[in-house]
Amino acid sequence: MRYAVFGNPIAHSKSPQIHAAFAAEFGLPGFQYDKLLAPLDGFGTAVREFVAAGGAGCNVTVPFKEEAFRLAEVLSARARAAGAVNTLMVQADGSLFGDNTDGAGLVADLLRHVPLQGKRLLLLGAGGAARGALLPLLAEQPALLLIANRTVARARALSEDVVQPWLAATGLPAELLPVHGVATFDFLIGGVPLEVTGGASPVRALGKRGVQFDVVINATSASLGGEAIPMAPDAFAADAVAYDMMYGKDETTFLAQARAAGVATRVDGLGMLVGQAAEAFTLWTGHRPDVAPVLASLRAAL
Ligand code: NDP
C-alpha cells in the first residue's frame, strides 16, 4: 500500500520515519510512505496523479491543508470544524475522504500528562492549529475553555464557527456545559474585559481578575520568532501544565516563559506530531501504533 506526505517545502518532514516505525511494529512489509513535494499551484493535480498510480492515502502539510479540505469529497466532523484536512484516504468507491488528525494528536499527547475533564483550559492562538484542536479538546469536557488571541476577531470566529455549535449540539444539561469565552492577551495581564459566551455560571468562573488555568496550550506561532506571550505568571494554576505546539531541539520561548513562572510540567509539540501520525495510520490500516518508542527515538535525534 502506498502512502505519502505532500507539502512545500517537504524535505524536513519526519513523517516517513514515523510511519515506517509504525508499519514495522505491525509487520506490514507492503507499507510504503514517501515525502512528495507538490508545486504551490499544483497540489490537486499531484494528489490525483498519486491516487491514479495506486496511492491509498496521504498526509498533507503546510501550505496545502485548506486546499486538501476543498479537494476531499467526504469530510469527517473534525475536519469540517477545522476547515482543514491533514489526512486523505481513498475509499472503496474511489472517493476521497478527508480527516484532520492534528487535534486528536494533541489531545492524545496531553492525556499522557494530564486528564482534561473538568480542567480549566487556556488556548492561546486562533489560527489553523487552534481551530483544529477545538473539537477534540471539547470532547474531553473541560470545565472552562478560554480562547485568547492577539486578534480577538479570529478568536470570536472560532467560538462562533466551532464552540457554540458544539455546545448547542451536545444536549448536556446547562450546568455541565463548559464555560467558554474569548479574549485578547490583555486579559491575561490585567483583567481587561473578555467575552463570555457559554456555560452555567460564566460570571463567577471567568468574569473577574485572577482566573487561573490548569492547562495552557500555545497554538500561536509566537515561539517561532522568539516572542513571549503577554501573560501574568499567576495565570498558571498550581500544578498547571504548559503545552507548546511548536517543538525543537532547544526549549521554546513559551516553555521557557512557563518555566520562569514555576510551571513544572512543560511539554512541546513533538508528541502531537507523532500523535497525529498515529491517528492517520490507524485510519488507513486499522492498527493503532504505540507512539512512545517512536517519540523517544525522534526526541533523541532532534
Ligand atoms: P497560523 O498562521 O494559522 O496561526 C498563527 C497564530 O499565531 C494566530 O493566532 C496568530 O495571531 C498568532 N501569532 C503569530 N505571531 C504571533 C506573535 N508574535 N504573538 C502572538 N501571537 C502570534 O498558524 P498555525 O495555527 O498553523 O500554527 C500555529 C503553531 O502550531 C505553529 O508554531 C506550528 O508550528 C504549530 N503546529 C504544530 C503541529 C504539531 O504537530 N506539533 C501541527 C500544526 C501546527 P493573529 O490571529 O493575531 O495573527
CATH code: domain of residue 20: 3.40.50.10860
Count of domains forming the chain? 2
Residue 24's pLDDT is what? 96
Residue range 150-157: mean pLDDT, rounded:
91
Same domain, residue pair 210 and 66: no
Element (H, E) at 297: helix 291-301
Same domain, residue pair 59 and 177: no
Nearest to 258 by CA among 270, 267, 269, 246: 267
Cβ within 8 Å of residue 156, ≥6 positions away: 182, 195
Is any ligand 1 atom within 6 A of the Cβ of residue 294? Answer: no
Instruction: Note the Cα 4 to chain centre separation in Å.
Output: 20
Work out the percent of the chain whose per-residue pLDDT is above 90.
77
Same domain, residue pair 7 and 149: no
Same domain, residue pair 141 and 86: no
> Residues with catalytic annotation?
65
Same domain, residue pair 139 and 92: no
- Predicted confidence band at 100 (pLDDT cuts at 50, 70, 90)? very high
Same domain, residue pair 12 and 74: yes
Query: 257: domain range?
Result: 103-268
Q: Which atom of ligand 1 is nearest to the CA of 224?
A: 32
Is any ligand 1 atom within 6 A of the Cβ of residue 257? Answer: no
Whether 37 and 8 have beta carbons less than 8 Å apart is answered as yes
DSSP 8-state class, residue 301: H
DSSP-derived secondary structure for 114-148:
---TT-EEEEE--SHHHHHHHHHHHHT--SEEEEE
Same domain, residue pair 197 and 259: yes
Same domain, residue pair 165 and 245: yes
Exposure string (b/e) for 102-128, b if CB count within 10 Å is 16 or more?
bbbbbbbbbeeeeebeebbbbbbbbeb
How far, in Å, from the CA of 161 to the mean position of ligand 1? 18
Q: Retrieve residue 102's grid coordinates.
A: 492534528
Residue 50 has pLDDT above 90, yes or no: yes
pLDDT in tens, 68-84: 999 999 999 999 999 99
Separation CA 227–CA 158 (nearest Å): 23
Cβ within 8 Å of residue 296, ≥6 positions away: none
How far, in Å, from the CA of 198 to the mean position of ligand 1? 25
CATH code: domain of residue 194: 3.40.50.720
Residue 205's pLDDT is what? 46
Separation CA 46–CA 43 (nearest Å): 5
Same domain, residue pair 89 and 166: no
Residue 19 has pLDDT above 70, yes or no: yes
Cβ within 8 Å of residue 29, ≥6 positions away: none
Same domain, residue pair 149 and 277: no
Q: How far is CA 151 from CA 63, 216, 222, in A?
A: 21, 18, 13
Cβ within 8 Å of residue 27, ≥6 positions away: none
Average pLDDT of the chain to the nearest whole number: 91
Is any ligand 1 atom within 6 A of the Cβ of residue 181? Answer: no
Neighbours of 129 (CB within 10 A): 24
How far, in Å, from the CA of 220 to the mean position of ligand 1? 3
Same domain, residue pair 89 and 133: no
Residue range 78-98: mean pLDDT, rounded:
96
Least confident of 69-83, 95-109, 172-186, 239-253: 172-186
- Predicted confidence band at 177 (pLDDT cuts at 50, 70, 90)? low
DSSP 8-state class, residue 35: E
Cβ within 8 Å of residue 108, ≥6 positions away: 271, 275, 278, 279, 291
Q: Which stretches of the chain are assigned E, i.e. beta strand?
A: 2-7, 32-37, 55-60, 74-75, 87-90, 96-99, 120-124, 144-148, 179-183, 195-198, 213-218, 236-244, 265-268
Same domain, residue pair 151 and 182: yes
Residue range 57-73: mean pLDDT, rounded:
97
DSSP H stretches of helix in 54-127 = 65-71, 77-82, 102-111
Instruction: Note the Cα 5 to chain centre separation in Å.
Output: 18
